[in-house]
Structures are given as C-alpha cells and as structure tokens.
Amino acid sequence: MSLAQLAARDDKPIDGIGLFGVIKETAVDDAGLIEFYSQYYPFPLYLDKEKAFYEALGNRKMKLSFNPFSLFSAISSMRKRHKAKNISGNMKGEGLLQGGLILFSKKDGDKPVYAYQEKTGDEMPVDEIIEAVSKMKK
C-alpha cells in the first residue's frame, strides 16, 4: 500500500498529517516525474538539491548482486510487483539511491519521531506508520 492509498482510506488513519514528497532531481525524466505525481503521489513535491533527506536516511543505494541467480530473482520479483501495480518502473536518472519516510511532529518541535528506510521491492510497513501517526496525535 502506498502513502496516497493510505491517505485515501475511509478510516483516515493519517488524517491531519501534512504529506509531501521529496525528489532528488529534475530535467532528467520529467515525464516520469509527472506520471509519479499525477498517478501515484498527488501531494506537493520538494526538490532536495543537496539530498539532505537522503543523507538523513543514510545515503543508501540499492545493491546489485553479482550472483546471477539472486540478480535474476530480484529483478523478476520487482517486475512482477510493478506489473501488478501498473507501474512503469523506469530507471532513468539516479535510480539506485534509496529513499524512505520520515515523520516530523510539530508537537515535539518539528523533530523526527519515526523513520523508515526504503527496502527495494518491499511494501511500506503500513501498520508501523499508522501506529507512529497515532502516537503523534496524542
């Protein structure tokens, strides 16, 4: 489940939380960026030229295995997931730098209270995110 789908749920588990996306580049694949915004993440986007967000999450890059069986399995799994969700999944631009999610609480002086580091091919931990948001609202 994506953040956009979570925000659209009838029970509104993240209602009252301001969402925005962080992107690391423009003018590389603007068509892909427009697709991302219009079809998958219809929230404001912020260009992080210095990549401070990515640095806060550890500047992790997707690791490619040189074991042909592992590599084939990982690519196969990702393609199936993209196909099931109708995602083009192009790798234009800096496609190896991994992102994630950081929740900041106004109540706690705009400090980060939860972080999730993206794991390529894995779904986000929706239950953890809902729990963290619930704690922020208390």
37-53 per-position pLDDT tens digit: 998 899 999 999 999 99
The confidence score (pLDDT) of residue 90 equals: 67
Query: In the Cβ-directed half-sphere of 103, how many Cα atoms lie within 13 Å?
Result: 21
Indicate the burial class of 57 (C-beta count within 10 angstroms; 0-12, 13-18, 19 or more).
Answer: buried
Average pLDDT for residues 50-61, to the nearest whole number?
93
Quote the mean pLDDT of the chain.
86
> Where is pLDDT greater, at 64 or 80?
80
Number of residues in the chain: 138
* Bridge partners for 116 per DSSP: 101
> Where is pLDDT greater, at 22 or 1?
22
Residue type, 56: A
Buried/exposed 15-54: b ≥16 CB within 10 Å, e otherwise: eebeeebbbbbeeebeebbeebeeeebeeeeeebeeeebb
Cα separation of 60 and 96, whole Å? Answer: 8
Q: Per-residue pLDDT for 120 more than 80?
A: no
Average pLDDT for residues 83-91, to the nearest whole number?
71
Q: What is the value of pTM for the model shown?
A: 0.79
